[in-house]
Amino acid sequence: MPLHIGAVAIVFGVSSCACAFPLLALHVPWLHIPPRFLFTVRHFGTGVLLATAFVHLFPTAFLFLTDPCLPSFWHTEYPAMAGAIALAAVFLISVVEMVFCHGGSACNLNEMSDLVSVRSDRSRASVRSGFQLQRMVSNNEEIIADLTAPRNRMSEKRRVDVVEESDDGEGTQQRAMMQCLFLELGILFHSVFIGMALSVEVGSDFIVLFIAIAFHQTFEGMALGSRIAALNWPNKSVKPWLMALAYGCTTPIGQAIGLATHTFYDPDSQTGLLLVGIMNSVSAGLLTFTSLVDLLAQDFLSEESWSVLRGMRRYFACTLVFMGAFCMSLVGAWA
């Protein structure tokens, strides 16, 4: 029991520090951490999250939901239930993102109309002034037209630039925030059950699983922390630190639940198998969609990525993704 209690504190410290470290690197200048660090952690973390979904969550979900101890429906009549649940989670995220993006677009269109109306008022005022000026100086009509036309073109171009900049800035920030929340949800769901699984182990199995989970939490925490740090938070905002703290608490909470219920909680019971299997399926769907669509495709296949990642920088980022997936896949042999 003392070893289990000590493991709760250690896992909390490792998880919280790993998730908060990218934030510290960004907000504490005297640490002198180079900007390349966040670049490295960000792309390495993409591979970590992909491997978490495909190597950790999917196999565990199928293993638990097809266990012979469950009714025949799960392992004989419909053994693909884990995949169906993950697919439902993917559809759910897609619907939420569509609704979210539609709301963001409507909001930006309203802002565009406001900007256009303001600019139109100013244009009408300038036109009236121009007519008065033309009446006052009728002999210089051509000169005035030549002088005002470039100015009007510049004003029009500036209006379009402002509208486009407003649209891109708001939509990108809100979309990135939603992606980060989905990542954290997918990670938090299964982190609780990782802690519960650790608390019911004893002897050498506990030591091996504890070391593997420590590495798991470190890789995953830095992956999540790098994405949190990449968002444009307001100055002195506590939200990113609270998100890092939430990640740090989930596995210890699972450990505490496992310790409190270890006398009557049996992970091999039907309830335990269904609970862990279903939640791992949901987490697998969340992480699969977010890692592939919102992270990998956004970082490497979008139009913007081809202007940001060029030459050796792109090759280096791809190598980091592969290394993250490879390292997390190794940890998957034990946890």
The per-residue pLDDT for 167 is: 43
Phi/psi at 202 (nearest 5 deg)?
A: -140, 165
Across 95-102, average pLDDT = 75
Hunting for tokens 């649209």 — which residue is that? Answer: 167
Is residue 166's pLDDT more than 70? Answer: no
Q: 243 near 184, Cβ under 8 Å?
A: yes
Across 61-66, average pLDDT = 93
Q: Using 50, 70 and 90 to split pLDDT, how confident is the model at 159?
A: very low
pTM above 0.75, yes or no: no
Is residue 265's pLDDT more than 80? Answer: no
Q: In the structure encoding, which two tokens stand for residue 264, read together?
A: 């009557």
The per-residue pLDDT for 161 is: 43
The per-residue pLDDT for 275 is: 86
Burial of 264 (0-12, 13-18, 19+ CB in 10 A): exposed
Is residue 292's pLDDT more than 50? Answer: yes
Is residue 112's pLDDT more than 50? Answer: no
The per-residue pLDDT for 119 is: 47
Give the whole-number percent of the chain exceeding pLDDT 90.
25
The per-residue pLDDT for 71 is: 92
Across 80-95, average pLDDT = 92
Is residue 194's pLDDT more than 60? Answer: yes
The per-residue pLDDT for 138 is: 46
Q: Using 50, 70 and 90 to split pLDDT, how confident is the model at 101?
A: low
Distance CA 27, CA 36 (A): 15
Q: How many other CB atoms are found less than 10 A from the CB of residue 95?
A: 10
Q: Using 50, 70 and 90 to split pLDDT, how confident is the model at 100?
A: confident
Is residue 335's pLDDT more than 70? Answer: no
Distance CA 282, CA 217 (A): 19
The per-residue pLDDT for 96 is: 82
Angle between helices 312-331 and 203-229 (to 10 degrees): 150
Question: Mean pLDDT over all residues of the chain?
Answer: 78
Is residue 62's pLDDT more than 80? Answer: yes
Residue (of 291, 295, 261) closest to 275 by Cα position: 261
